[in-house]
Structure 1
Amino acid sequence: MAGLNAATLAPHDLVWLADPATSLDRDALPDWVSLTALREMPVVVRRDGCRIGEIPVGLRGRTRSERYGTWVAPSAICKIVTPIELAAQRTWRHRPELATLPAIVALEAIADWLDAADIRWGVTGSAGFSLACAHNVLHADSDLDLVVQAAQPLPARHVELLAELQRAAPARIDIQVATPFGGFSLLERVRSGGKVLLKTAHGPRMTVDPWQPAP
């Protein structure tokens, strides 16, 4: 895609490869990876700063153990869907076959609350993947993974609302808060009173302030 570079994308963004067979190192791929399926399925942008100018992505299979991290050139990407777009477009309402799954029931129950609170949020994980393409990987025990974009520290009212929604939802909700320096678990911050494991492009680090981590 014209003008696309590593800085354009964020972790959890879903991207499609124009030609998986030439975009990936075929000799290094696990046996479970299907290049044919990858023509229709996205890969997910992940955090990794090891290769300047390339996009770190993760491939997923049918089970939790089937995960593979690699890199692709920006020119290999032909389509992008962000977690924020999946939420804003209420994508799950166009997928009636998923409507009774607990993660989707939870999503429908909390979406308007999050918007009304002016929280910038998106759908990630299995739910995001399943909503972005025709390949459903959700099941009855799947968590609902969300990301909350927060360039500045979250107001106390937002933390309280998010924590309450996590407790009351009909499925387990895992909320990751994305700061300019990395992402952390909201539940971990609530439980610890502040100190969290911040996931960065250069590895995890403990910090008491995810918006001003010590060098």
Structure 2
Amino acid sequence: MQICAARPFAADHASSREARWRPHDLLRLNHLRQFDGEPAWIHESFERAPYAVVRRAPAADGFVAIGLRGVERSQRYGTWAHLDDIESLVPPEALARHSPLAERNALPAFAALAALQRDAVGALTGFVWGPTGSTGFELTTQVPTVTLSSDLDLLIRAPEKISHDTAMQLLNHLQAIAHRVGIRVDAQLETPAGGIALVEWATSKARVMARHARGPQLVIDPWAPAHGDA
């Protein structure tokens, strides 16, 4: 998030433990609370698409950390929603078989997603996965968000350890599709330690960056028991 609202709760009341809301889930909201100093585009964007994405940040009981997006790439805002404001939730994996409006099919990000959807025996078979970022947002809201240069962002659920070899197979498969359509396919593994880039785990780095509600941290094994509270 490039800008963030002040917490609507005391810092010592915040916790990173909340199983109901997971990073990258999209929330449909019935109300957006106003905060001092928020950007002028916020409420116009919310009226256009009353959705927010769950972000990695501690929140007190009764709140969830969310991110809002505007029309421009630079328009990103972190804030908090009250649980009473939430109407429904759409996790990335619920979008894995969704398609855009017909006239949007040719955009590279959607073409890459369609290639993955057609691949019944590809490297992603057996994994729980789904699109995030602008692709996931447009599939959920039907509001044009993806552009010709948009990457395809993916989330791959990885509650159990994935070998480096398996991760490399996944990476090679996704990069081949990305090369065919001319964009990047950026995949993140959701592990007990938090989100890690597939490319980092696949290339056997000694430590990988895990993105967690408490902040980013370098870890050796994202599945180690010490990280089970992510």
Question: What is the count of residue pairs matched by the alignment?
Answer: 205
Q: 1:30 is matched with which residue: 27, 39, 58?
A: 39
- 1:103 equivalent in alignment to 2:115: no
Deviation digits for residues 143-174 of structure 1 (CA, Å, limit 9, x no counterpart):
00000001111145631331112221123100
| CA-based RMSD | 2.3
Structure 1 pair 110–73 and aligned structure 2 pair: CA distance change class (3 A): same
- 1:65 equivalent in alignment to 2:74: yes
TM-fit CA distance, 1:50: 4.5
TM-score (norm 1): 0.86
Partners of 2:58 and 2:45 in 1: CA distance: 28
Structure 2: 5+ residue runs without aligned partners? 1-16
What residue identity is the alignment partner of 1:91? H
TM-fit CA distance, 1:28: 3.5
Q: 1:17 is matched with which residue: 29, 32, 35?
A: 29
Residues 168 and 202, structure 2, Cα contact 8 Å, conserved in 1 = no
Structure 1: 5+ residue runs without aligned partners? none
Higher helix proportion (structure 1 or 2): 1
Residues 54 and 71, structure 1, Cα contact 8 Å, conserved in 2 = yes
- 1:91 equivalent in alignment to 2:98: yes
Matches within 5 A, 1:1-215: 6-20=18-32, 24-35=33-44, 37-38=46-47, 40-87=49-96, 90-92=97-99, 94-111=100-117, 112=119, 113=121, 117-156=125-164, 158-169=166-177, 170=181, 171-212=183-224
TM-score (norm 2): 0.81
Identity %: 37
